Structure 1
Amino acid sequence: MRPHLGLVCVTVSNDVKYRTITRKRLLEHALESQQKLLDDIYRANIQTLDKALRYCEREDIALYRIPSSIFPFADDDIGRALLAGFAPALAQTGTRAREGAIRLVMHPDQFVVLSSDSASVVANSVKILQMHADIMDMLGQPRTSWALLEIHGGKAKRADALLERIAALPDAIRCRLGLENDEYAYGAAEIHAICLRCGVPMVFDAHHHIVHEKLDSYDDPSVAEMLARARATWAVPEQQLVHISNGRASFNDRQHADLIGTMPAAYAQAPWIEIEAKFKEEAIRGLRGWQAAAR
């Protein structure tokens, strides 16, 4: 089977764009106006999510990462109450994804730091993760790593704390959780060891790996080795998800390039690949030949 390529959040064209609002702008309004603003944004963004799924069906894209910010302030009381009213609409959207065989995942933002030494940061992280889990539940997505919630390890040298916090998470979060290696705090080998200890799948990012290890090629033997080791952490290996990006200014640049000019040879064996390039769908189109030749 050829690797499935995944679209991350939006398109570089105007086909898939979401609305948002800043906290400062929201707080300029009275409570009733705040509710109306958020209600309008939630309604519009559900329609955009439906549009994104239709786009994926049309473009033969089998995986879609829902934006973490699709429902602004849904982790606060005002947004949580509003979002609950959209449960029937989200259930219909989830049905469309299942019928279209489109896998849905999410990547909570940088404010999720389960390994923090601050109790308030940890509590806020759990609140944000719960919001993401609630969205997945309303979309009718399974409480498994098929509907992955991808996060980083967070604060360095806090593996024991990370394990403790993951073990205490509600099932709706923990059963969907995956850990991704990063450029600085947790390299691939470190995050792999944590995944083994806490029983969650590892999301291998080859670009983060080469930056962390200061490698000069995606075909360094450690890339294929970590891909295989990461796959063994998945309860269903065929659902393994990986990331790819290229450096913008140089091979080891952590900033993402517009397109994907170089793929790890080992990724021909990766079942699901999220394409983290600035030019989104154009990068996916540019990889169609590679995708067809893979495996």
Structure 2
Amino acid sequence: MIIRFGYAATALNLYEASPAKTMTFARWSRLGNDERKAKLHALTKENLERTTRILHYNIAHQINLYRFSSSLAPLATHEEAGWDYISPFTDLYGEIGRLVRDHGIRVSFHPNQFTLFTSDKPHITVNAIKDMQYHYNMLTAMGLEEEAYINIHIGGAYGNKELALERFQVNIKQLPEPIKAQMTLENDDKTYTAAETLEVCERHRIPMMFDFYHYMANHTEREPLEEILPRFMATWQNRKHVPKIHVSSPKSENAYRSHADYVDAEFLMPLIKHLKDIGQSLDFMIEAKQKDKAALRLAEDISRIRGVKRIGEAAVEL
């Protein structure tokens, strides 16, 4: 089995490469119409150009797993500031898509925690749909709308998890089917456990994004890893990509829910042991503060384990 390693948004080994340059609505409000347009265009162009630069870096370092920044187009979904963030940049979106396809890079988006479908407030659902549409529109501009996924969490429990899940079943029907087809759901560290997330994924035929770190922080005795993993992997059957796992490790025992700079390979050993028994190739998205540096270091650290062979800068074979 093969494990590939990737990271999110910014390549820290590059100088000034953040693809998430933005502006606040307050700042936007103080500008004239022409200045607003010019500033939004300049920021978006810079973010897309930096994304292209990061993809070239990934290609050079054999990193075939990457999560786009959700902040590529500032204020794109804001009620008052919403603007055309696609048409002026078709060449840049097209170049990003070409690089991804030509080099077999697996890409995704991960909207923020406010993109959820469990709220009893209609405007929250409307905003969630708008945000999902925003991400899908960019994938479409890149020509990646049938292969890249948009990952979210189920959402809040609002004091009654059963009712919140019922609302999810209703609210998710408002999401256009093409977008829902590219959606994944991730277990979280406080509210919805892996088993609870799996039940929703299985019911709606949505692939699950299993987060091992969140599982360690939030699971019950009735959710043994050896039972969760095969079910999680089954949600990816008949999909273009292999299953994908988010991995990170706690900063400390006292700050367990804070991500460390790097990922402790020892922390992952229970997971790796079970994966080795299953024998299914998959991808690891690194969610550590040192991003690409953490992904490359983890590949090196895991390659030192007996029975593991490094087959690239960001891939190992068990």
Aligned partners of 1:134 and 1:102: how far apart in 2?
Answer: 19
1:276 paired residue number: 287
2:245 paired residue number: 242
For 1:9-158, what aligned pairs fall within 5 Å after superposition?
Answer: 9-15=9-15, 16-18=17-19, 19-76=21-78, 78-143=81-146, 146-156=147-157, 157=161, 158=164
Structure 2: any 5+ residue segments left out of the alignment?
A: 304-309, 311-315
1:124-172 superposed Cα distances (whole Å, 9 cap, x missing partner): 11111100010111110143xx411000010221112212222331133
Whichever residue aligns with residue 61 of structure 1, its letter is: I
1:200 paired residue number: 206
Q: Could you tell me how far 1:82 is from its partner in structure 2? A: 3.7
What TM-score, normalized to structure 2? 0.85
SS state at 2:107 partner: strand
Aligned partners of 2:104 and 2:254: how far apart in 1?
Answer: 34
Where relative contact order (Cα < 8 A, 6+ residues apart) is larger, the structure is: 2
Structure 1: any 5+ residue segments left out of the alignment?
A: none
SS state at 1:287 partner: helix
Whichever residue aligns with residue 190 of structure 2, its letter is: Y
Matched pairs, number: 289
Measured on the aligned residues, the alpha-carbon RMSD in Å equals 2.1
Aligned partners of 1:111 and 1:85: how far apart in 2?
Answer: 28
2:3 paired residue number: 3
1:178 paired residue number: 184
- Runs (4 or more) in structure 1 with deviation over 4 Å come to 267-270
Judge which range, 11-20 or 169-178, deviates more.
Answer: 11-20
Distance 1:9 1:230, change over 3 A: same
1:231 paired residue number: 233
1:87-121 superposed Cα distances (whole Å, 9 cap, x missing partner): 23212210111001111100011110211111111
What TM-score, normalized to structure 1? 0.91
Whichever residue aligns with residue 116 of structure 1, its letter is: S
Aligned partners of 2:237 and 2:275: how far apart in 1?
Answer: 19
Aligned partners of 2:60 and 2:254: how far apart in 1?
Answer: 33
1:232-266 superposed Cα distances (whole Å, 9 cap, x missing partner): 11133652111001000128701100111132223
2:166 paired residue number: 160
